[in-house]
Amino acid sequence: MAGPRPVVFSGPSGAGKSTLLKKLMKEYDNVFGFSVSHTTRNPRLGEENGKDYHFVSREEMQAGIDNGEFIENAEFSGNMYGTSKAAVQDVQARNLICILDIDMQGVRNIKTTDLNPIYISIQPPSMDILVRTQGDGNGYTAHTSSCSCFAADIILYHRDRKTESEESLQKRLQAAMVDMEFTMAGPRPVVIFGPSGVGKTTVVKKLMKEYDKVFGLNVSYTTRNPRLEEVNGKDYNFVSREEMQAGIDNGEFIEHAEFSGNMYGTKKAAVQNVQARNLICILILERQGVRSIKVTDLNPIYIAIQPPSMDILEKRLRDRKTESEESLQKRLQAAKVDMEFSKEPGLFDATIINDNLEDAYGQLKQLLLEVSLSAEHIS
């Protein structure tokens, strides 16, 4: 997108984004322009179409998403929200700096585009202050300091909300807590990626068995049914589609994707539970999961495990004798895409070719030692 570099604002509800942006737009209306988002929800009292939001039908918005007209979109509380490319271009065409007010999911989506905005996070000083200032008084206090990636960390709280029920307030506070606390503490995690049948699960199990006091495996969530001998809470957390979608809508997942009609994802709490035990969290992820994690603050080590060739991978999958020819061909096609994905510059810190299981396992241990971990953990 041509024109001045945009600015993305994000932060929990009640932290004061709207107050700050209104002051900014009022004082510098010849410098900044506000990107008007689209939504499928109904207008509230006093809201104007085209000014507060572009109010559209679900069918109209979905058609725009399918046509690639949106740079980010998400669903919250049964309504769709999103920012169209045209909305940003309209502001930039007037030679104004485009302001985008979006949630955490929108930030992650924009991170994967070429928009290249300045990212500004607006946070309260603490959850206690956010709770206290959600309900009484008026006015605000702000503090600004410089931050990484040419952005700022603006800490703001205000006292102008008397319009919400206790239930609504608690939902907002819970969402705010998720946003504020997702600066992961504890040892740096490790992301393992590779096509189905490459042996990534086998080497991770060996690692966990040998170093159970060093590593903890993240237990992912899925909507698929358990396979023979799979244990709920150990192999996966098996949940309904409704339960998982609710968790996604509430911002509880750091990554999620759908594959073969089933949903998969990693909860923030699952990673934090491993890190709270001072263990290095291992995450086994698909392509979409890797891309999603890349735009978070998790900052893991990325390791790709690959087969020596497609022919060898196909033989391994056939030797399993666990699926139909149609299912096998789908896995092989996905594996080709995975292998190309692992070659993208800058995605992975290291790649291991699993020609021999023991050699691959030895390489994995050595890589973890060299890249991130101390000799006292692995020797």
Q: Are 117 and 26 in contact (CB under 8 A)?
A: no
CB neighbours of residue 302 within 10 Å: 22
Report the relative pairing of strands 215-217 and 280-285 from DSSP bridges: parallel
Q: Which of 58, 94, 241, 320 is catalytic?
A: 320
Catalytic residue from among 159, 172, 224, 331? 331
Please indicate whether residue 227 is annotated as part of the active site. Answer: yes
Active site residue 331: yes
Q: For the CA atoms of 153, 17, 139, 32, what is the dihedral angle to 10 degrees? A: 90
Are 137 and 124 in contact by the 8 Å Cβ rule? The answer is no
Rounded Cα gap, residues 118 and 110, in angstroms: 11
Q: Token pair of 304, please? A: 């790709």
Catalytic residue among 188, 227, 291, 318: 227
Quote the radius of gyration of the chain (alpha carbons, Å).
23
Structure tokens at 104: 């955490």
Determine the Cα–Cα distance for residues 210 and 352; give it in Å rounded to an integer.
Answer: 19
Which conformational region is residue 155 in: left (phi greater than 0), alpha (psi within -120 to 50 degrees), or beta?
A: beta
**Residue 228 backbone class (left: φ over 0; alpha: ψ -120 to 50; beta: rest):** beta
Which token pair is 160? 């102008």
CA 92/CA 84 separation, integer angstroms: 13
Element (H, E) at 300: none
CA-closest candidate to residue 104, choices 367, 233, 297, 277: 297
Active-site residue list? 227, 320, 331
